[in-house]
A = this chain, B = another copy of it.
Amino acid sequence: MKHEDVFNPDCQVRLVLDRIGDKWSVLVVLALRDGPRRFTGLRTTIGGVTPKVLTQTLRAMERDGLLTRRVFAEVPPRVEYELTPLGLSLHAPIDAITDWAEAHLDEIVAAREATT
């Protein structure tokens, strides 16, 4: 079977789950959907993220080959982040999740209130 090994704690698919699950990566992918963005642009688009955490997220995604970081030697400094093809391909699973969420959120909320 296909997903059998997922139950192995060392399965590498877990790495992807962890990344998708982290609080900001998905939002970064969505924010970069329509092309490159600058640091402050991302920061204001994505509500409530501090510069430290945004930097951490971007660096991690860069390490994983999901996006590129381009520095322009200008004053004031300019840095642009852009999804790689690999990062762009993440939209497929992400859309699957957000679509599901939008389709079924009312059911979840209803179930929660039923328990109240």
CA distance A91 to B8 in the complex (A): 19
CB-CB contacts below 8 Å: A64-92 with B: 64-65, 86, 89-90, 92
The contact string, 1 if C-beta is below 8 Å from chain B, for chain A 46-74, is 11100000000000000111000000000
A6-B27 CB under 8 A given contacts A100-B90, A112-B64: yes
B98 touches A96 (CB 8 A): no
CA distance A90 to B100 in the complex (A): 8
Partner of A104 from B17, B89, B102 at Cβ < 8 Å? B89
A17 touches B26 (CB 8 A): yes
Least distance between A64 CB and chain B CB atoms (Å): 5
A15 touches B45 (CB 8 A): no
Residues in A lying within 8 Å of B, measured CB to CB:
2-3, 6-9, 12-13, 15-18, 20-23, 26-27, 30-31, 33, 45-48, 63-65, 86, 89-90, 92-93, 96-102, 104-105, 107-112, 114-115
